[in-house]
Chain A
């Protein structure tokens, strides 16, 4: 789970990590007040989105506005806030439609000659948190590091809950920081590490970390992510999740425990297991089709949750076909999938052709139940033929869009041709 910059900075402030005084605003008036409270300016007005790359991003519909603006007057701050709030910010790290800006964060603008990149995250290979750092902080850091891999400093922080000053001093000297800054830097690394371990974070990224002329350090930006698996023991951070922006579909998916990502295509997918779900997208794309979504339903016993997953993926108006690819194993049984589909169909009749590949536990039982249901389903024995059938359907003319009564749709499904609702 990602935190917004203002949430991250509030948390860091509690841990004694140097950040600027700032204020969050969700209206123009609040932005004006905040600017006045924060002194005489100039100010930085920063769109609060989870995606990074804000300075390189553009506010949709206002092409002269990026996600981070610097203003000299209070009135300008108000105008910038008004333009940003409610608009969408598109950055190199968002999808094409961007992310809605529901709040802006206002801070005094400060100048600094040295800006570092500092991050802590888990390295799966060594199984420890590592610190990455570079002297070329800022939005071009990825390019700089790829151009000159030696410029990236990487120090293993070990598995212990507390570290001493040594790793920070090591990083400081590898970065070539001036002597007067080293102790402060080492202390900052200790503080960040303590925060990382105590709050079950999966990422801390400070980019940039400014070194000011008086040798003090300040985190100008902050990106924090919390390990979702640990939210049960981080109730304060878990509470922040409820205030996050999620699409209705993603919110529904989170509630029922599925992994769901909306995509642009017209072939719906329903799989169990992230690997199989990814493989399903791979095969569809390989055959020239366009998936409408990624859906991984974890093994669940409850039919009601399987039903919700079907309702979710079938609610997409772009859908021309649904490919179900399930390998029943363990507690994920194919008959549960069949029952979930039939319940979903009772609640909201299915109007797109279905292609189903059911294998593994209780697959024959599931197929016989579905065959008796009257639903028009093309059963396939493997993923290759399933994807081919789905891609054929996806390319077919769009189904009729005339509104119909539920009875009409049901009747057509129960007694209509096997060719699907479009014919």
Chain B
């Protein structure tokens, strides 16, 4: 199977008539994704790319039985678009829009408390299940149906991990880019949990980044499992230049978490094979799947 989307997923695209919405919806349709409609206030009743356009998400859901949404709305209106989809009680929202004001996402996340809608993003490359479809902007032609689940905080490195697991024949079960914004929807830990439950997934690639504590939390989650699938992780930014710092608050808020070092240590302690270089993701995963799970602790490349 897969996570987040399956063959019953019917997608409505918010912002389908815009440049990005058009470009990616066209490609998604060509690859077999069930895009059943679009939403653009004021253009209800029109047809675009061969699918009907509606004024609201609720209307689109009523007419097309859509159960997922992908958002390509400009940043100033994107928070409103997410809230509209949440109000319509759609199951899944993938928000591709980047540069949404952080306080807008603070308000959105608070609004979503208790909602059944799952939000991926914002600033997400989307969710892709090889052979089934893609919600978002992930490139076509690099996927191979297979057994690796990929969860990533970095868009472009997601493709890198996909490419490597395609080249070595492992393939992907599902691939989720959760987005790199400080306040967003679904967490790395939750994606790991879904992959652990997914029958098709035999191994998991986790792509993290310096900053925040998502990887430390993921490590804490993995430590609670009795029986983990092999996880290979890469943390981007190990040698990243420290930008201009300003003041102390950003450093002390996490008590010495959030650096590449703390993330790598936490993940190693949780039994994850951490690779130093992104070029080793695919080969390390192949090695992991060829060995006993108990031997995994030693397979990471030493720093």
Task: State whether A227 and B103 are in contact (beta carbons under 8 Å apart), knowing that A282-B239, A329-B159 are contacts in the complex.
Answer: yes
B194 adjacent to chain A (CB < 8 Å) = no
Q: Pick the contact of A152 from B106, B183, B252, B278 — CB < 8 Å?
A: B252
**Whole-angstrom distance between the Cβ of B156 and the nearest chain A Cβ:** 3
Contact pattern, B 173-185, Cβ under 8 Å of A = 1, otherwise 0: 0000000101110
Separation in Å of the B147 CB from the closest CB of chain A? Answer: 22
Please count the residue pairs between chain A and chain B whose beta carbons lie under 8 angstroms apart in the complex.
Answer: 208
Tell me the bound Cα distance from A149 to B252 in angstroms.
9
Contact stretch, chosen from A123-131, A167-175, A176-184, A209-217: A123-131
Point out the residue from A146, A299, A330 that lies within 8 Å of B255, measured CB to CB. Answer: A146
With A127-B110, A229-B100 as given contacts, are A279 and B160 in contact (CB-CB < 8 Å)?
yes
Q: Is B131 an interface position by the 8 A CB rule?
A: no
With A278-B236, A279-B278, A384-B279 as known contacts, state yes or no: A232 contacts B247, CB within 8 Å.
Answer: no
Instruction: Give the docked Cα–Cα distance between A412 and B250 (Å).
Output: 50
Q: Which of A93, A130, A197 contacts B103 (CB 8 A)?
A: A197
* Residue from B138, B160, B243, B253 in contact with A121 in the complex, judged by beta carbons closer than 8 Å: B253
In angstroms, Cα B279 to Cα A109, docked, is 56
CB distance from A126 to the nearest CB of B (A): 9
Give B154's nearest chain A residue, CB to CB. A275
- Interface of A, secondary structure class, is mixed
Q: Kindly list chain A residues whose C-beta atoms are within 8 Å of the C-beta of B104.
A: 230
Q: Is the CB of B240 within 8 A of A383?
A: no
B106 contacts A127, C-beta separation under 8 Å = yes
Give the contact-size bracket for chain B.
Answer: 35 or more
For chain B, residues 224 to 280, give those with C-beta under 8 angstroms from any C-beta of chain A: 234, 236-241, 243-253, 255-256, 276-279
Q: B244 contacts A51, CB within 8 Å? A: yes
Chain B residues lying within 8 Å of A273, measured Cβ to Cβ, are 154-157
Pick the residue among A2, A125, A279 that contacts B213 (CB under 8 A).
Answer: A125
CB neighbours of A286 from chain B (8 A): 239, 276-277
CA distance A2 to B102 in the complex (A): 16
- Interface flag for A10 (CB, 8 Å): no
Name the one of B102, B155, B241 contacting A294, with C-beta atoms under 8 angstroms.
B241
User: Are A122 and B159 neighbours in the complex by a CB distance under 8 Å?
Assistant: no
A282 x B253 contact (CB < 8 A): no
Q: CA of A117 to CA of B100 in the docked complex: distance in angstroms?
A: 30
In this complex, which of B137, B157, B251 has the most chain A Cβ atoms within 10 angstroms of its Cβ? B157
Inter-subunit contact B207/A275 (CB<8 Å): yes
Residues of chain A with a CB closer than 8 A to B241's CB = 261, 263, 281, 294
Which residues of chain B come closer than 8 Å to A95, judged between CB atoms? Answer: 244
Task: Check A127 against B245 for contact (C-beta < 8 Å).
Answer: no
Distance (Å) between the CB of B108 and the closest chain A CB?
A: 9
For B153, give its contact among A51, A203, A275 (CB under 8 Å).
Answer: A275
Do residues A123 and B246 form an inter-chain contact, with CB atoms below 8 A?
A: no
- Contact of B101 (CB < 8 Å), options: A125, A230, A384: A230
Given contacts A261-B241, A275-B154, A360-B142, contact A203 B247 (CB under 8 A): yes
CB-nearest residue of chain A to B258: A124
Q: Is B52 an interface residue (CB 8 A)?
A: no
In this assembly, does A132 line the interface, its C-beta being within 8 Å of a C-beta of chain B? yes
Question: Which residues from B are CB-within-8-Å of A207?
Answer: 247-248
Within the complex, the shortest CB–CB distance from A267 to chain B, in Å, comes to: 12
- Cα–Cα, bound, A233→B104 (Å): 12
Residues of A with C-beta under 8 A to B184: 124
Closest to A285 in B: B239
Residues of A within 8 A of B137 (CB): 299, 329-331
Q: Give 1 or 0 for each of A276-293: 1 = CB within 8 Å of chain B CB.
A: 101101110110000000
Asked if B247 contacts A52 (CB within 8 A), the reply is: yes
CA distance A164 to B104 in the complex (A): 21
Residue pair A383, B278 in contact (C-beta under 8 Å) = yes
**B154–A127 CB distance below 8 A:** no
Interface flag for A361 (CB, 8 Å)? yes
Q: Give the complex CA separation of A285 and B214 in angstroms.
A: 25
- Distance of B59 from chain A, by nearest CB (Å): 28
Q: Which of B76, B106, B213, B214 has the most CB of A within 10 A?
A: B106
User: Which residues on A sit within 8 Å (CB–CB) of B277?
Assistant: 279, 282-283, 286, 384
Contact between B247 and A223 (Cβ–Cβ < 8 Å)? Answer: yes
Asked if B212 and A124 sit within 8 Å, CB to CB, the answer is: yes
Let me know if B193 is at the binding interface, CB within 8 A.
no
Tell me the bound Cα distance from A286 to B237 in angstroms.
12
Chain B neighbourhood of A330, CB < 8 A = 23-24, 125, 137-139
Which of chain B's residues have a CB closer than 8 A to the CB of A327? Answer: 139, 156, 159-160, 163
- Whether A141 sits at the interface, judged by CB under 8 Å, is yes
B109 within 8 A of A: yes
* Contacting residues, chain A, for B252 (C-beta < 8 A): 132, 141-142, 145-146, 152
B156:A127 contact, CB within 8 angstroms: no
Residues 345-382 of chain A, each 1 if its beta carbon lies under 8 Å from chain B, else 0: 00000000000000111000000000000000000001
Interface residue A159 (Cβ < 8 Å from any Cβ of B): yes
CB distance B251 to A121 under 8 Å?
no
A69 lies within 8 A of chain B by Cβ: no
Q: Which residue in chain B gives the minimum CB-CB distance to A388?
A: B279
CB distance from A141 to the nearest CB of B (A): 5
A94 located at the interface, meaning its Cβ lies under 8 Å from any Cβ of chain B in the complex: yes
Q: Whole-angstrom distance between the alpha carbons of A281 and B277 in the complex?
A: 10
**Residue B291 interfacial (CB < 8 Å):** no
Q: How far is the CB of B113 from chain A (nearest CB, A)?
A: 9
Query: In this assembly, does B217 line the interface, its C-beta being within 8 Å of a C-beta of chain A?
Result: yes
Q: Which residues of A contact B278 (CB under 8 A)?
A: 279, 282-283, 383
* 16 additional A-B residue pairs with CB within 8 Å, beyond A230-B101, A279-B157: A51-B244, A93-B244, A122-B106, A125-B217, A146-B256, A159-B110, A203-B249, A205-B248, A278-B154, A285-B238, A285-B239, A299-B137, A329-B155, A330-B138, A360-B141, A383-B279
- Enumerate 24 A-B pairs (CB-CB under 8 Å) in ascending A order: A51-B245, A52-B245, A124-B184, A130-B253, A132-B253, A160-B110, A200-B103, A202-B102, A227-B102, A229-B101, A229-B102, A233-B76, A272-B156, A274-B180, A276-B154, A276-B157, A281-B241, A282-B239, A282-B240, A285-B238, A327-B159, A330-B23, A330-B139, A360-B142
Pairs of residues from A and B, 6 with the lowest C-beta to C-beta distance, nearest first: A275-B154, A273-B156, A159-B110, A330-B137, A119-B249, A276-B156
